[in-house]
Every structure is written in structure tokens, then in C-alpha cells.
Chains A and B, each alone.
Chain A
Amino acid sequence: MYETAFLEVRGVGAIQGIELGSEEITIGRSPEATIQLPLKNISRIHARVYRMDEEYLVEDLDSTNGTYLNNVRIVRSVLRDNDQIEIGEARLLFLEKKLRDMPTVNVPPKATDS
């Protein structure tokens, strides 16, 4: 299970990081989209990122110009760390942080252990 997963949005102003939860995230030109991308070649509601069981997926929502994942036009796909979603001119990087990626911390032994 993901500890945390993020979408890093590039292509509109400053890089924006969005933490993913169980809520679906929509991406598109429309102000109703969770991530609004007022760029050309992007449909009103272009794609969505959602969670199913223990996976995050990206799905194209019948957009005119398509949703690409690492250079491949997809209909739907599970997401893996460092995947790049390409929508029009925008780039969204999927980043996951798993337990195994966490820095190891040395836990000092308790002084009062009996």
C-alpha cells in the first residue's frame, strides 16, 4: 500500500504538488476539473486519476488529443513511481513513497527498559 502518492504538475506556472488520497482527481481545461490546465490541446475534462483497491490509475476520458503515459497513448493504466502523464503541453509526474523508500532512522534504545 502507498504511504503517500503525489502528482507533480508541470507546464502551468510553478510546479504544483498534489497529494493523492481516495478522492478521484480530474484534469482538464474546465474550471470544474480538480487540476485545471488552461492550455491548448486539452479537453474540458480530459483525464482522471483515481484509486482502485491498492492501485492508482490514470484514465483518458475520451479526450480529443489523448492521454500519454511515458510516450504511449493509453486508455487506462496503473501508475508506478516516476510515471509521466502527458496531457497536451502539460506533464504530470506520479510519485509514490513507499515504506521501503523511507529513509532509515536509528531509533535510540529506551533508557528505562527493564
Chain B
Amino acid sequence: MSSNQLHVTFWGTRGSLPTPGRMTEKYGGNTPCVSIEHQDSLVIIDAGTGIRLLGIELAKAVNAGKHLKKIHLFLSHTHWDHIQGLPFFEPAFIPGVQMHIYGSPAREKVLENILEGQMDTHYFPIDMSMFNATLEIHEINAKAIEIGDLRLDWQEQIFHPGGCARYRIRLGDRTMVYASDIELDQMTDPPENFQADPQWGHLDLEERARLLAEFKDFIRGADLLIGDGQYSETEYTNRRGWGHSSIPTVAEIAIESEVKQLAVFHHEPRTSDSQIDDYGRTYGRRFRTKETSFNLFWAREGMTIAV
């Protein structure tokens, strides 16, 4: 492994709900989980059902006598599709494993309660005290955190019901950003589309422009952006206010911010593999231009890329 590269693996790419079956086996049916590895450092973002597969890999390594790296799990938010894999994460049951879970302090003091809550006996047969690993839950107070040679910083995103954090990881001059679960169209659409919105209608144009500028600064020049692109533009018109972006909007913002590569992420549960292949062709033609070296692709479960 080259020492100046991040290895980014998609374990779950589907939004909202797991979608097993043959219609979705190419891009995957597990809900969000991404791992970022560099030498001995392992960062995981989100604990959707995809984290189960990562857990199996890690447990295999432990059984083969390998020393398990300290696990740093960052949660973007606590919607079900981003935490529901945690009770199935094998390393959590291995004594001696050290697991740190981080989340935004915007969900003040409740992060631990929420994670314990989903393992309440009404929802799950065993409770969190059955985890044999050492577990530490942190609400991130610092602006930036260092994990080995990785430097991670984050920002809160407003345009998702309940809020959601985005994360940026840097290694030397390499940068990757995870910004899922955000309705970017709220910052680019004309005002008449959002004035009546009960959640965010009060935010004026100026505030939306400021938030967009903040988003662009955060992703600027990234080698990889894992971005919310749940809907086609047609689907989006029926999903305003649901907290997810349309593909052209995330692609345009990425290009304007000189992002080199966009992994479209959080696939809509109803979207089949062949539909995503179609998106790949149509949006690929539209956004992969000769003038820029910009590339976009649809994140696929089971794929590791070098950043």
C-alpha cells in the first residue's frame, strides 16, 4: 500500500432502507458505511447495515492473529439507516477491541441514549452492555481530530431533517469528504420552491447563499467527494423537504468547487441497477467534460478506491 494514499471502501451505499435482491446487487443494498484506511489507522463513517460486512472482515483478521487497529467510528447522524448495523458489528463483541464512536454535539447528550435505545429489548434481543469491546462515545467538541497521520474535521449540515454532520479527512495533500444526507437543492433552487417549507422556509436567500459557500469551501479541491445524490431531477420535484439532493445539483456544486471525483451516494431504495447504469450514461455525458478532469461514478458496495 502506498504510504501517501487513503484507501476508501464502500460497505453500504443504499439510502434509507436496505434493499436486498437481484435488482440492486450491482451497486449494493446495504445502508451507508464507508471505511478509510491508512497504515494502522482505521476510520469508519456511519454504521448502516454495510458495517456488518466490514465487521466480518475485521473479525477474520483477528482470528488470523492480526492485531486489530483501534476503531474510530464517526456517525453523520442517528437516522436509522446510519446506525442500524452497529448491533451486528462483530468487533464490538471481541474483548480487547477499542472502539471510539463520535457524533455531533448538536444531538446533545443523546448520542449514547440513541445508540443504547436501538438495542433496547423492544427493538433488539441483547442490550449494549453485551458489547465486550471497550466502547467510548464522544460528542465531538474539537474542530479537528487527529488519527495517526489522518486529520479529520467536520461541519454541521442544516438541510436534512434533524441535522447531519459532514466529515473531511486529509492525509498530506490528499483530501476526501463525506457529505451524505443533505438537500443541496435547498441552496440552489429559486425561492418560490422553498418559501412554504415548514422546516427551512424561514431561511432567507442570503442565509442559503452563505450555507452554500460554506459547503463549497469545505469540499473545495477534494480528490474524492462522497455526496448525496439520491434522486434524479424528476424524482426530486416530488421529494422537496425530504433532506436529499438531486444528482445534477451535487454534480454541479462539485464541479464548481473543483472536486476531482464525485462518488454519488445514498442511492434511492427504488432505484435498480439498470436505472443507475442509465444515470451513469446520461449524467456521465453531461458532467464528464473534456475541459475538466472531473469524474463521477455511482458508489458500489464492495469497491475500494485509492485517494
Contacts and interface: CB of A to CB of B under 8 A. Distances in A.
Interface of A: 55, 57, 60, 62, 66, 69-78, 80-81, 100
B261 interface: yes
A75 B301 CA distance: 14
Q: Provide the main secondary structure of the chain A interface.
A: strand
A66 B306 contact: yes
Among B297, B301, B304, chain A packs the most CB atoms within 10 A around the CB of B304
Contacts of B301: 78
Interface residues of B, number: 16
6 cross-chain pairs, A with B, having the tightest CB-CB distances, nearest first: A78-B302, A77-B303, A75-B304, A76-B304, A80-B26, A72-B297
B295 interface: yes
A72 B295 contact: yes
Contacts of A57: 302
B137 interface: no
Nearest to B37: A75
B278 to A, nearest CB: 13
Contact of A55 (B297, B302, B304, B306): B302
Nearest to B263: A72
B300 interface: yes
Interface string B257-284: 0000100000000000000000000000
Contacts of A55: 302
A74 B305 contact: yes
Given A66-B306, A72-B295, A78 B300 contact: yes
B7 interface: yes
A62 B2 contact: yes
A83 to B, nearest CB: 9
Nearest to A70: B297
A94 to B, nearest CB: 12
B221 to A, nearest CB: 18
A74 B1 CA distance: 12
Contacts of B305: 72-75
A100 B26 contact: no
